[in-house]
Amino acid sequence: MNWFTDISVIREIIRPLLDILLLAVIIYKTYSILEETRAIQLIKGAVIILLIYAVAYFLQLNTMLWILQMLAPGIVIGLAIVFQPELRKIFTSIGQGDLFTLQSRSKPFLVESVLNAVEILSKMKRGALIIFSRKVGLKHIADTGTKINGDLTTNLITSIFSHDTALHDGAVIIAGGKIVAAGCFLPLANEPDLQKSLGTRHRAGLGMASESDAVVLILSEETGAKSLAYDGTIYYDLETDDIRRELKKLLQFSDEIKEEQTV
Ligand SMILES: Nc1ncnc2c1ncn2[C@@H]1O[C@H](COP(=O)(O)OP(=O)(O)OP(=O)(O)O)[C@@H](O)[C@H]1O
């Protein structure tokens, strides 16, 4: 009998605890993914609508309640469409079992190889588009280009972008410490606020950073400006030291040091 009471006590305590713990982790992870994207506005908007609903409910403002109830399904569907990239990020993150993973170290020498190449290319007045894959797989993007699977070296990056070969056009994808593919086609950002002077290379970089968690390094052929795009935002014309610091910070989330990582 004792063991039976013990089990039911454990069940009574462990089950709600587990329930709360899982919910807290999901809410926290969702918030941390959303916080660096435009979806934070979505959360603020949702909180305001909920507050209006609560006030209308307690004061029995029937017309307001009726309107909110009528609009609710439309709002949910509309938001799901507008924030589809952010939702995809959340579900991919959950699907890849990242909820409980700890941050891993970045490999500083990989960052240095890329930065050296960018310096050389900048002096040669060449443009470049370099994608660092993080947790979200980029196989569908790598498939649009030419598979390389070569070691990440300054020479390889420089030669990809410095010659007028088919590979210099498009983006290079880096994952697992390797140059996985080159000449890749990226989705273009549909950002009305983006500076008019920024052309398709920058739009493609921002598009990639909006649709995935990738970090994108963009070297402008025209101005030599080096920019980073990540979490749906482009940071234009940064100093090399700032790029180095940001890359090391951002890529510590990367699986790029895990040999088993796929694109
Ligand atoms: N969707 C895309 N995916 C990958 N690369 C792209 C894409 N669109 C453009 N590019 C790259 O950008 C190059 C054209 O850059 P463009 O001059 O239009 O843009 P930009 O942002 O003004 O860049 P820059 O300052 O280097 O001139 C193309 O030759 C190609 O290499």
CATH fold of 108-251 reads YojJ-like (1 (3.40.1700)
* Count of other CB atoms within 10 angstroms of residue 223: 13
Q: How far apart are CA 255 and CA 29, in angstroms?
A: 18
Dihedral over alpha carbons 6, 12, 13, 19 (to 10 degrees): 140
What is the predicted pLDDT for the residue at 210? 87
Q: Ligand 1 atom 14: the closest Cα is on which residue? A: 201
- For the Cβ of 198 lying below 6 angstroms from any atom of ligand 1, the answer is yes
Mean per-residue pLDDT, 1-25: 76
Distance 217 CA to ligand 1 centre (A): 13
What is the reported pLDDT for 220?
A: 95
Residue 129 has pLDDT above 90, yes or no: yes
Q: Is the CB of 171 under 6 A from ligand 1?
A: yes
239, pLDDT greater than 90:
yes
Rounded to the nearest whole angstrom, what is the distance from the C-alpha of residue 156 to the centroid of ligand 1?
20
Per DSSP (E only), the strands in 133-205 are 146-151, 171-175, 178-184
Give alpha helix (H) positions in 124-239.
139-142, 154-162, 200-211
Q: What is the dihedral of CA 133, 111, 182, 194, to 10 degrees?
A: 70
Mean pLDDT of 135-151: 88
Both tokens of 165, joined, read: 């070969």
- Is 162 exposed, middle or buried (CB count within 10 Å of its CB: 0-12, 13-18, 19+)? middle
- Nearest-CA residue for ligand 1 atom 5 is 170
Average pLDDT over all residues of the chain: 81
Atom of ligand 1 nearest to the CA of 127: 26
Q: What is the pLDDT of residues 177-230, one digit of tens each?
A: 899 999 999 988 877 767 777 889 999 999 999 888 899 999 999 999 999 999
Question: 249: CA distance to ligand 1 center in Å?
Answer: 26
- Rounded distance from Cα 133 to ligand 1 centre (Å): 19
- Provide the percentage of residues in the chain whose pLDDT is more than 70: 79
Q: Is ligand 1 within 6 A of the CB of residue 185?
A: yes
Closest atom, ligand 1, to C-alpha of 168: 31
Q: Where are the alpha helices (DSSP H) in the chain?
A: 2-34, 39-58, 62-82, 84-95, 108-123, 139-142, 154-162, 200-211, 240-250
Question: Is the C-beta atom of 234 inside 6 A of ligand 1?
Answer: no
Among 37, 29, 39, 48, CA closest to 80: 39
Every domain of the chain and the residues it spans = 5-95, 108-251
At 97, the pLDDT band (50, 70, 90 cuts) reads low
Q: Which residues of 67-81 are buried (b: 16+ CB within 10 A; e: fewer)?
A: ebeeeeeeeeeebee
pLDDT band for 76, please (50, 70, 90 cuts): confident
The model's pTM: 0.65
CA–CA distance, 87 with 227 (Å, rounded to integer)? 26
CB atoms within 10 A of CB 168: 19
Structure tokens given for 147: 């598979």
